Structure 1
Amino acid sequence: MRLIEEPNFDVAQLAHIEIFSPKPEETVDFFTRLLGMSVTARSGQSVYLRAYEETYHHSLKVTESKEAGLGHAAWRTISPQALQRRVEAVKATGLGRGWIEGDLGHGAAYQFTTPDGHAMELLYDVEYYQCKENEKTKLLNRATKRPDRGVPVRRLDHINLMTSNAATNTDFMLNALGFRLREGIEDNGNLIGSWMSVSNLVHEIAFMPEPNQQKGKLHHLCYWYGVPQNLYDVADLFRENDVFVEVPPNKHGISQALCMYVYEPGGNRVELFGDAGYLILDPAWKPVIWDMKDVPGNGDTWIGTAFPESWWVRGTPVTVPEIAKS
């Protein structure tokens, strides 16, 4: 794998994601009523939402579509100059699509794809959420008060994308966008999974293999609690509301994060983080590489039940027979 000799820090964070849903109102209800998120705008076939500790206009865009899946992922740079530098780097790969004027909540953005065709964009100008009077909190360092519904998530954490070739897509994120490889999985010396970040988090994006070499699929999006007990609280709420829990509260070996997985009504998998796992503060961090034979029972689940087959093979849009939900 080709790594950048001198890392750049032009990309600052995962700003927002768009998901497609064939049941948009039910999807929005899931995120608002059960996960405590708020609707900030509606436009055309799309609804924009944010979590209560997020400062931007939105972190999630739900767009009506025939199939579930990823609309796009948006990355914010550290400055307008950094945006231009990363745009030029993406253009050099041949994967750029061009500029758009913007969308609700942000200004001009440069659109591109990963080698596998996942839609993404780079941007800098964002709109900060304007707090309503009844949302104001006495905590000056919190954007809005904690919602009084569901078990409210606090912020967007990461996305996980399925890919036909993890190594090719990982190299693109490292070399064109400046991500750092934090953990990886190899099988017979070939990289088949990766966890990357631009911050001290273990990952803001991960790639995992798609078993039938299908391109452009979403494995999951993840929101963060920071309080492990919240996973058990929301798991109880899901059971009461007939939401399918694919993986009950558990702990990953890779990332060491406390987690759980459910499906929102449109069919997309949602992960919830009970904490951040570990943080990476070492600027000379060396990637932790697992051998695939050691992953089941160690890397995937460290403390908890074994992950079902559906977790390994199902992404959205669903292009292979869905594993029974049981």
Structure 2
Amino acid sequence: MSTNPSGAIAHLGHVEMLTDKFEESLDFFVRVYGLKLSGRDETSAYLRAWDDYEFCSLKLTRAATTGVGHIAYRAASPEALAERVALIKASGYKLHGWHDGDLSHGAAFRFEDPFGHVFEIYYDTVWYEPADDSDRAALKNTASAFTGAAPRRLDHLNLLSADVTEFRRFMETCLGSRVTECIQLDNGRLGGCWFTVNNKTYDLACTEEHGGGNGRLHHVTYATDQREDILRAADIFLQNGVHIETGPHKHAIQGTFFLYVWEPAGNRVELANAGARLILAPDWRPIVWTEKDRKKGQAWGLKTIDTFHSHGTPPVAGKEHGR
């Protein structure tokens, strides 16, 4: 069991989100959610938050459905990338192999978890450079200016799987991740795990799939500077007719202040603020939440909304609750 990240993986790099309402989704993410458009190709828009140093942290791709296309982590060095690829090749998990990259990064190695989620790791990346002074931050230690709900950086994503224990094995084996918190159900199964590859409290969560789907996305999250940004964002979402699913409130697990909405195609996105919390202990012992703990709801007593356990993307016919 991993107690400390391997050090081979630097951080979560970007997420590819699929949308069957491309123009509506792009308008939401740029005008309302506050991401910045770095560039476009034939099928995708490359987006980033105002302090993401890379060219892209969200690759929005036109598709026939919704959900996640792939999840990308940046390696700590070219040598670390080669070492990690060798471990993945020997792991027994499904391999997609090398591809040339895209507008935002160089060559990447792709592989797949047992539940249909595609991952990639890469090292060579494109640093974001403001195209003109209007996008240049007043403070030179900030990557760019900001607008809209103004999330600061990509924070994490949550995937769904039929067997969280097996997904945990995949993350520890392929990415060298460690678990910081988890849910232990009364039936002996893991209900959820929160993973990190560095000193962040988590960069990826996996929770149990209740909808019968495969390879599904629960949500993608960007971090804000402060809680008040999330309160302001709630008014922005309300003004723009965005479906607010739950929040603002505070999670019990990980303690983040949160707000969940659905973008126009139905993908769930979150704004969150974790405060200054980091995992600095090299021998961190995962926090275990019981089923009884979880029935108490969120940190201040808010009960978890039903759609939080049923809605994922892509949708499963006959098993989704509407808005």
Structure 2: distance between partners of 1:251 and 1:274: 9
Q: Which moves more between the two structures, 316-325 or 226-235?
A: 316-325
- TM (norm. structure 2) is 0.95
Tell me which residue corresponds to 2:164. Answer: 166
Report what 1:145 is aligned to: 145
Once the two structures are TM-superposed, the CA of residue 189 in structure 1 deviates from its matched residue by: 2.8
Task: Note the C-alpha offset of 1:5.
Answer: 7.3
TM-score (norm. length: structure 1)? 0.94
Question: Partner letter of residue 80 of structure 2?
Answer: A
Is residue 5–residue 198 contact of structure 2 (8 Å, CA) maintained in 1? no
Matched ranges for 1:107-118 at <5 A? 107-118=106-117
| d(CA) in 2 for partners of 1:283, 1:6 | 5
Q: Deviations over 1:177-197 (max 9, x none)?
A: 110110011113322210000
**Pairing of 1:86-105 with structure 2 (within 5 A):** 86-94=84-92, 95-105=94-104
Q: Residues 271 and 5 from structure 1, CA distance in 2 versus in 1: closer, same or farther, beyond 3 angstroms?
A: closer
Determine if the alignment matches structure 1 residue 319 to structure 2 residue 316.
yes
Letter in 2 for 1:53: D
Equivalents in 2 of 1:6, 1:281: separation in Å?
Answer: 10
**In 1, Cα distance between equivalents of 2:82 and 2:44:** 28
Question: What percent of counterpart residues are identical?
Answer: 38
Moved over 2 A (4+): 4-7, 274-278
Secondary structure of the corresponding residue to residue 283 of structure 1:
coil
Residue 212 of structure 1: how far off its partner (Å): 4.0
Q: CA deviation at 1:275?
A: 3.2
Q: Is the Cα contact below 8 Å between 2:48 and 2:58 reproduced in 1?
A: yes
Equivalent residue number for residue 9 of structure 1? 7
* Partner deviation per Cα, 1:235-284 (whole Å, 9 max, x = no partner): 11111111110002010010000001000001100011033473111111
1:169-214 superposed Cα distances (whole Å, 9 cap, x missing partner): 1111012211011001111332221000012222100000111442
Counterpart residue number, 2:58: 60
- Pair 1:310-2:310 in alignment: no
Classify 1:7/1:265 alpha carbon distance in 2 versus 1 (closer, same or farther; 3 Å): closer
Gaps of 5+ in 1: none
Q: C-alpha separation between the residues in 2 aligned to 1:7 and 1:270? A: 26
Distance 1:84 1:258 in 2: 37
In structure 2, list runs of 5 or more residues that go unmatched. Answer: none
> Which residue of 2 is the match for residue 275 of structure 1?
274
Are the equivalent residues in 2 in contact too, given 1:226–1:275 (CA < 8 A)? no
Shift of residue 222, structure 1, vs aligned partner: 0.2
1:22: which partner in 2? 20
Map Cα deviations across residues 94-135 of structure 1 (whole Å, 9 max, x no partner).
322100011111000001111211011000000001112222
| Alpha carbons 1:255, 1:277 under 8 Å: kept | no
Question: For residues 8 and 274 of structure 1, what CA distance do their matches in structure 2 show?
Answer: 26
